[in-house]
Structure 1
């Protein structure tokens, strides 16, 4: 391969990575929408964007929710009380949970790409408060369209 096309390809790849946004989500004991929440609790982002989960209050983490993850996407699990930054490359809908507070409804939804939040199939195994919280998030997300 001639040098010039290789340099062009490398520059294109680097520019694409540089255009990716970093979105911040706070993990809170109490926020605008109640107790044990992520703020914001819904994000619509582009493939390749990153989300930084900030441990604003103690005893929280961010982890992908089994059963609400796009096919081919890698699951993730942050440690309690630690910031984690995740790159979302695979388009689709991601359910996020705080493992210690799932039963209290500490969940959020991340939409990567064009798939609409109205297409979410919530896992049947969700605790009641988590399911109710996802339903509130979905209602707000769908009313934005």
Structure 2
């Protein structure tokens, strides 16, 4: 009995060690030739995982689409050409954008765990709206 409790405690304490760090590149031209993209633009991860946004090419940033975030999640706003890492602890849909290239459709979506209903399209401009709709459809929402 004591062994089982000790093993359970050890597994619980080690759980954060299983968290992964994923990478998303900020690009002026994607592998398929598309302009102003995040690669990948859609990512599914587990709660506790982190995502590093790589400043692969100049003049890009990443920031949340604040009116689409899960309740209680604190937004992020990276500076241009800045690499940042964000940890996602709770299930949900986390939309983000490159502010300078949002109107050109430079948006992305991270699906964490098994969230409930997807958010409605928030305050996005230009081509970002149809791209975000496509990403939400891909997420199965």
TM-score (norm 2): 0.85
Could you say which residue in structure 1 is the equivalent of 2:130? 132
The runs of 5 or more residues in structure 2 that have no matched partner are none
Could you say which residue in structure 2 is the equivalent of 1:78? 78
Cα distance change of structure 1 residues 41 and 33 upon mapping to structure 2, 3 Å threshold: farther
In structure 2, what is the Cα distance between the partners aligned to 1:101 and 1:92? 24
Structure 2 counterpart SS, 1:110 = strand
In structure 1, what is the Cα distance between the partners aligned to 2:126 and 2:90? 28
Could you say which residue in structure 1 is the equivalent of 2:21? 22
Structure 2 counterpart SS, 1:85 = strand
Report Cα offsets for 1:78-106 as digits up to 9, x if no partner: 12111111101121111111111111111
In structure 1, what is the Cα distance between the partners aligned to 2:138 and 2:75? 25
In structure 1, what is the Cα distance between the partners aligned to 2:80 and 2:56? 11
Following superposition of structure 1 onto structure 2, how do residues 21-40 of structure 1 map, counting pairs within 5 Å? 21-31=20-30, 32=32, 34-40=34-40
In structure 2, what is the Cα distance between the partners aligned to 1:14 and 1:101? 42
Aligned residues between the structures: 136
State yes or no: 1:115 paired with 2:96: no
TM-score (norm 1): 0.83
In structure 2, what is the Cα distance between the partners aligned to 1:106 and 1:129? 8
Structure 1 counterpart SS, 2:66 = coil
Structure 2 counterpart SS, 1:44 = strand
The runs of 5 or more residues in structure 1 that have no matched partner are none
Structure 1 counterpart SS, 2:68 = coil
In structure 2, what is the Cα distance between the partners aligned to 1:140 and 1:46? 17
RMSD of equivalent CA atoms: 2.3
Report Cα offsets for 1:9-65 as digits up to 9, x if no partner: 5x4454111100111100000112611100000111111100010011101111111
